[in-house]
A and B are shown apart, each in its own frame.
Chain A
Amino acid sequence: MSEPEDLSSPFRLPTAGPSKQTRETFGERLRRRREQLAQVDEVKTLSSWQSRARVFTALVVESPHPRASIVRCQASEARHLAGVEAVLFADDIPTFRNSLGHEFSGEPLLAEGEVNYRGQPVALVIGRDEATCREAAAKLEIEYHVSPGILTIDHALAMMSFHEAARICERGKVTPALAADALRSSGAFLIPPQQAPLAGAPEVIVTPVRGRRGYSVRARALSPALIRTAVARTADIPESDVQLEPVGLAGATDALEMEPVRLAMLATRAAMACGTAVVLKVSGPDSPLVRGQRHPVKVEFDASHDAAGKISALDLKLHVDGGFYATDSTTVMERAALHADSVYGIGHFRITSQLCRTHRITSSSLPAEGSAQGAWAMEEIVRRIAAAIGKTPKEVRERNFYVEGAEPKSAPYGQPVQAASISRVWNQVLRRSDYDTRVAAIEKWNRRNPCHKRGIAAVTTKFGLGDPRPERDAASVLVQILADGSVLVRVGLVDVNDGFRGQIREEVATRLGIEEEAIRVILNDFDVLPRSTPVIGADACGLVLRAIADACKRLQGRLREVALQLFAARGQTEIEIEAIRFVDGLVGPDISPTHPLHFREVIEGAWRKRVNLVETGYHRTPNLWWDHELGAGWPFSAFTHAAAVAEVQIDLFTGEVQVLRVDFAHEGSPSPDQGERDSAQLMRAFTLGAGWLLSESVPYPEDDDASCGHVAEGVPGFADAPFQIVTDRLRPLGDPASLPGDPCAEAPVLLAGCVREAIWDALGAFGWKPELRIDLPLPSTPPAVLGTLREISRQIREGAPPAA
């Protein structure tokens, strides 16, 4: 076994060379090399030039313990196994290079002396194939000294284990206001995690290119630009030497954001060690390194309200499980806090958010990460208050909505709220679903039916589009007009195959007045456009569409001048440049539509006149800011509003829940022709939310036997979709310049809360009363629902214990 090749030291000529240097021919060199190899008993492919074309496999050896000290690492037996190229521990990586870097999480690439989450990379085995690597990994002697880890938020709170001081966002004077009202409600509950992507190979492939001066990376990732940074940093090369191979994704839930960074760094380190292309593998499909999770949040609240349910003050605490290394959990926590007011204008409101340090790995790669937890926490609080005062949740919700013209007019952090939009979607969904009539019908149905109970509920949401890190709210595109008038649009956005291509084509066609068939959209282009706009969190579509508008506007400006000259050449000198329009493949003044120019003629003219037909479009949402120390800012480019009514039916024998009907009223994207795409996006996000709340149970806290295999079985299938779906797409209100481009990509995750609310309503028909001490576990799987039904029966039979 040879030592790993040293790639970091500069190349130096040998000090004592042969006395007489002879120039070998290629054939001689080849023969000599073959003879050398033949003399060696154990062929080392590591440094042989023949092996450069091969692809090795690197296997990440992961910690089986959430918290432990590494007492001993020994790999002599594994290193001598045939086919093993190298085994790397933290000590084998040059000093100061064994880190993910501060932009990511600062954690060591390979564990140094201790492990702090289950799945943490401890070693890297590089070999000719996966089977060899696994055999070698089994021969590694790694001795752990296991310590009890902090695996739950409660444990972290008890141990005061936090990443940083709590962040507070406050409006009004909460403490005195809490004391002022007679009625107080308080409580705590846990929002469990949801598992991120489930399909597709999580492998990362890193290939040395240009004589190992650069690397080409293929990774399934939501933020390829981060991968590029990570690989460049690991290999200590400029980012321009890193090529990203495009990978088409099947939806925004098909990849992770931060996890591929760690994997890409490990793969690069392996590729550097053996000088060949490397495919990185993890321990298995359930490895924590490739299974992102929505952050679990523990919610504590203390609210004061009147007898009608109007909340005067609310002290809300969000304890977010930030794992041991807070990768971007801080942003998740902030999103949760920024959505915690949901659609409710509460005068005195304090949101305290704290990131707990646990011995877990966390990630943020699911749509509406953070915001869903924040908004859902508020809906649960409202439901509990309604239960406490004996009102329906609908009444209490309506009483607490932001109201147009009344205080408060802004969210607790200061960004103005459009109360009219909230009431518009709410009233529309109630009207469309015929809510009141159905409530009465359900009551009647429930009285007749002893085997099934139905419930109905409505919720409405306000979703902020934008990232609290303003540097992420920008997009760049490149629009190129070719000689025949066709157009190439390059976009620095990951292709998630959600139909955005069509929307871009429509935008360009409208702007340049040409047919959509003449436009080709290239997504995933990170070589030409270095900036990658995140597909989750920011309003990526809106940003890209505005960047396109920016590019098209400048191209039009140049083409107008060309058209003016062409008109002049035809003797039409009275035409004003501002009057020239681009419509239906024609170019001409709108006041005299006769004898217009064809778009193609104008382009031909532009080519002859050497006019630049390539334009970069760039857009950044202006004036976004967020100061977490002040707890104030304008973090979102826009809010989008939606409301939903769900009717469910519980099978009292099995606990199975069937969603019978869902009614949506939502604000659509600005283009009237994108209704179908909006509808598809809406269903995708709603399905994600419904799976989280209904069926996708994730082991939390993880135990030693935790297997995620059955998590996939909870993903809703075709037959689990609601029987009936009614959608009302409303024209968005507000400034057209700041309307969200894709309002349905993430916001409907929040709407799935109405399903859980409807289950509570059905439980009420079964006999649940507020005085019972009952909680419906999340997700509400059949065992959880049947267990709750049984507990309700028991408490009714035995007499309810006093409420907490």
Chain B
Amino acid sequence: MQSWFSFELDGEICRVEREPTRGNLATFLAGLDPCFAHFAEHDPLLAPRLVVLGTHEGDRHRFRIVDAGLVLLPMLADRQVWTPEGIRNAEPEHPVNLAFQQGSFECSPERLDSLIALTFEGYYRLDLRRQGQINDQYDAVVTRTAHVPAIRETALQVFASTEQLRHEAARKAERSGDESTVWTGKRDIFGDRFTRQLFRLPEGRALQYVDAEKRRFFRPETLVDLIKLKREYPGALFIAGGTGLGRFAGGAEGGGDLISLESVKELSSLVTTEDHWEIGAAVSLTQTAEHIGRECLAFNKVLRRFASRPVRNRATLGGYLATAWASGQLAPLLMALNARVRLISADGERDAPVSQFYAGRGRTILQPGEIIRSILIPRATEHALSARGITSRLCDVYTVGPRRTGCEPYATGGFALELRDRRITKAWIAYSGIADAPVRAREAEDFLAGKNWEESTVIETLPILSRSVEVTMPGSAHAPAGYLKQLVGTLFQKFHHQHPRPDAVRPESLTATGEFARLDEAFFQTPRA
């Protein structure tokens, strides 16, 4: 057990001693140096204090933007942190710094810092290729003073420059046959101070830290160690990304020991087999989307409206499920995808469908000492479907909220149909935000089975949905119960409008926004030879 640890702060080793295990980075920075004083005024919604975390994910190094107020200090042991101050001072000529030197982007230096940090992550982000992803990168920006057109324009220029750089590096790498290392980010194509240090970052190691109050923080490396620790310290709380710590059980101020799942190899793996994905409980939502989003479009779609990029970079599927968020957007989709949760404890393993995982308000079927090991999501590949005699699987998710991102949504609906030609063999209809826990509309699902997928079926289903799906939490939601009740039907109708044909798996576009925004246009067009 050690009473100190260190991490790299703005390129220099920062030793942390006897700081509380539940202290967050924002509070630590605020007390560290006057230049970080503004970190004290942290508000996850309106004044996030963003920093860039250098991490080692599997076999790759990544920069991830995170909210310093939502990262516990011991989580940073052996990691790298770049604050906007550090980014500005370490390389003043960095393209991101140059881009934000002039102009009237924001009304306070702190908010400009957030823009710098967000753009910095975007500059190194491998999957940021199209203009429609700008919103995804900047959705943590919620102010009345952001000059959105100027930010968009700057982002366009910065991300185009990095794409150009990547294309040039790939062209050079073609000769040596290792072009793929450029596109997978295994090779440092930038060669700047930041990436040089990032690529030196070792894998996360085990940590056993004790603070001045004798509270412990464990970061085991293996599942066996994890279970042993839990047996030894039964009162310890499991923690994954930690983004919900202030909001859910235990709380940021609470006492007790913490066991971090982050470095447990078995929980941090992403396995793809022919018929399913197995997502480790400690894998971040961003990583999950990078892994399955290209095939599972609905997952990418719902993540675009889930919290904000800094939260998605830390939050995990396991943490999301364990905290039993009643109006979370992911549960209906996971239900529609027919996902299962694998649970593990000292007594052994078991699994359950996501729809049976919730047990009422804020509760799940998790027993004391039990943790989520992974989430199994079936893949809708042609091979997997044809083996069951299914011709197509339609799946989509719709979420409605007071604004596009970063808010408590009103309601979310997840829908899936398995079809044999035109006939529905099985249906999944699930909602969140309308009751104490995400629910499935079993009666409507049963009704749909055996029917043809056509408008008349949808119209016949609506009264069943209206009758069988109860809205039970109008008081705690921000929307009136009548509205939520309406959404139960209209979201299902929307699903039909976007997926009218049984043979077309890809959703039809309901609107044509191309005339206003070139969302699908790449930042950088490869010049023709």
Task: List A residues at the B interface (Cβ < 8 Å).
Answer: 198-201, 248-251, 253-254, 445, 449-452, 496-499, 502, 649, 651-656, 660-661, 676-677, 679-680, 683-684, 687-688, 691, 695, 697, 710, 712-721, 723-725, 781-783, 786-787, 790
Are B150 and A251 within 8 A (Cβ)?
no
**Given A498-B107, A679-B150, A713-B45: A654 in contact with B494 (beta carbons within 8 A):** yes
- Asked whether B101 is an interface residue with its Cβ less than 8 Å from the other chain, the reply is no
Other contacts beyond A502-B104, A653-B494: 11, CB < 8 A: A253-B144, A496-B107, A497-B109, A680-B105, A683-B146, A684-B147, A687-B144, A717-B407, A718-B135, A718-B139, A719-B403
- Asked whether B190 is an interface residue with its Cβ less than 8 Å from the other chain, the reply is no
Q: How far is the CB of B152 from chain A (nearest CB, A)?
A: 8
A contact residues around B106 at 8 Å (CB): 250, 497
Are B516 and A723 within 8 A (Cβ)?
yes
User: Which one, A450, A677, A683, A790, contacts B486 given CB within 8 A?
Assistant: A790
B contact residues around A450 at 8 Å (CB): 497
B contact residues around A697 at 8 Å (CB): 402, 478
Are A718 and B146 within 8 A (Cβ)?
yes
A-contact bits for B402-419, CB 8 A (1 contact / 0 none):
111111101000000000
User: Which one, B139, B479, B483, contacts A719 given CB within 8 A?
Assistant: B139
Measured CB to CB, the nearest residue on chain A to B118 is A718
Are A695 and B149 within 8 A (Cβ)?
no
Most buried by A among B43, B104, B146, B151: B104
**Given A251-B108, A723-B516: A783 in contact with B143 (beta carbons within 8 A):** no
- Asked whether B103 is an interface residue with its Cβ less than 8 Å from the other chain, the reply is yes
- Asked whether B279 is an interface residue with its Cβ less than 8 Å from the other chain, the reply is no
- B:484-519 near A, CB below 8 Å: 486-487, 490-491, 493-494, 497, 510-513, 516-517
- B:88-146 near A, CB below 8 Å: 103-111, 135, 138-146
Task: List B residues at the A interface (Cβ < 8 Å).
Answer: 41, 43, 45-47, 103-111, 135, 138-151, 398, 400-408, 410, 478-480, 482-483, 486-487, 490-491, 493-494, 497, 510-513, 516-517
**Given A253-B144, A680-B104, A683-B148: A717 in contact with B406 (beta carbons within 8 A):** yes
**Given A250-B108, A786-B486: A201 in contact with B41 (beta carbons within 8 A):** yes
Are A710 and B408 within 8 A (Cβ)?
yes
Q: How far is the CB of B283 from chain A (nearest CB, A)?
A: 25
B contact residues around A655 at 8 Å (CB): 400, 483
User: Which one, A253, A649, A710, contacts B478 given CB within 8 A?
Assistant: A710
Q: How far is the CB of B231 from chain A (nearest CB, A)?
A: 36
**Given A496-B107, A781-B402: A661 in contact with B516 (beta carbons within 8 A):** yes
Q: How far is the CB of A267 from chain B (nearest CB, A)?
A: 19
A contact residues around B151 at 8 Å (CB): 718
A contact residues around B141 at 8 Å (CB): 717-718
B contact residues around A691 at 8 Å (CB): 144
B contact residues around A249 at 8 Å (CB): 107-108
Are A683 and B403 within 8 A (Cβ)?
no
Are A676 and B408 within 8 A (Cβ)?
no
Most buried by A among B111, B497, B511: B511
Measured CB to CB, the nearest residue on chain B to A677 is B104
Q: How far is the CB of B5 from chain A (nearest CB, A)?
A: 30
Q: How far is the CB of A758 from chain B (nearest CB, A)?
A: 14
Measured CB to CB, the nearest residue on chain A to B408 is A713
User: Which one, A651, A676, A687, A715, contacts B150 given CB within 8 A?
Assistant: A676
**Given A250-B145, A654-B400: A451 in contact with B497 (beta carbons within 8 A):** yes
A183 to B497, CA, bound (A): 44
5 closest residue pairs by CB, A with B: A250-B108, A719-B404, A251-B107, A680-B104, A723-B516
User: Which one, B47, B110, B145, B148, contacts A721 given CB within 8 A?
Assistant: B148
Are A653 and B493 within 8 A (Cβ)?
yes
B contact residues around A713 at 8 Å (CB): 45, 401-403, 406-408, 478
Q: How far is the CB of B178 from chain A (nearest CB, A)?
A: 37
Q: List 19 A-B contacts (CB under 8 A).
A: A199-B43, A249-B108, A250-B108, A497-B106, A676-B103, A679-B150, A687-B146, A697-B478, A712-B46, A713-B403, A713-B478, A714-B407, A715-B403, A717-B139, A717-B405, A718-B135, A718-B405, A719-B138, A786-B483
A contact residues around B148 at 8 Å (CB): 683, 687, 718, 721, 725
B contact residues around A449 at 8 Å (CB): 510-511
A250 to B115, CA, bound (A): 14
B contact residues around A497 at 8 Å (CB): 106-109
Are A725 and B149 within 8 A (Cβ)?
yes
**Given A250-B107, A497-B109, A719-B405: A684 in contact with B516 (beta carbons within 8 A):** no
